Amino acid sequence: DGGITQSPKYLFRKEGQNVTLSCEQNLNHDAMYWYRQDPGQGLRLIYYSQIVNDFQKGDIAEGYSVSREKKESFPLTVTSAQKNPTAFYLCATNNLGHSNQPQHFGDGTRLSIL
């Protein structure tokens, strides 16, 4: 979706290395989300944030960390503790002012192990 920028498009991680995936939005949306997608599977929630300086763990938070210092930005760090990081990572945003607002997605970052 326009307005949500994920970078880089492709990323390679060495053994024992931390890597950070960027997600920036100019939609002025309150909430931001990180998902992991493995081949042939649906989207699994890693972390989400409803407001600046606050975030909550999703279903598969182990081995990941996030920060929300600005409304526009929600970077995801894949730490060395994540032993199987190869996947497609998707960032999404939505507004919380009205109930059940759809989430809108960036174009994803594909992370691979070197």
Radius of gyration of the chain (CA): 13
Report the site for another protein in 6-45 (rule: CB under 8 A).
6, 30-31, 33, 40-43, 45
Interface map 80-99 toward another protein (x if CB under 8 A) = ----------x-x-xxx--x
Which amino acid appears at position 9 of this protein? K
Q: Contact 52/68 with Cβ under 8 angstroms?
A: yes
Distances (CA, A) of 83 to 29, 43, 57: 32, 19, 18
2 lies in the binding site for another protein (CB under 8 A): no
48 lies in the binding site for another protein (CB under 8 A): yes
Return the structure tokens found at 111.
Answer: 């992370």
Closest CB to another protein among 1 and 69? 1
Q: How far is the CB of 104 from another protein (least distance, A)?
A: 7
Rounded CA gap, 47 and 56, in Å?
Answer: 6
Return the structure tokens found at 21.
Answer: 């995936």
Q: Which residues bind another protein (CB under 8 A)?
A: 1, 4, 6, 30-31, 33, 40-43, 45, 48, 50, 58, 90, 92, 94-96, 99-108, 110
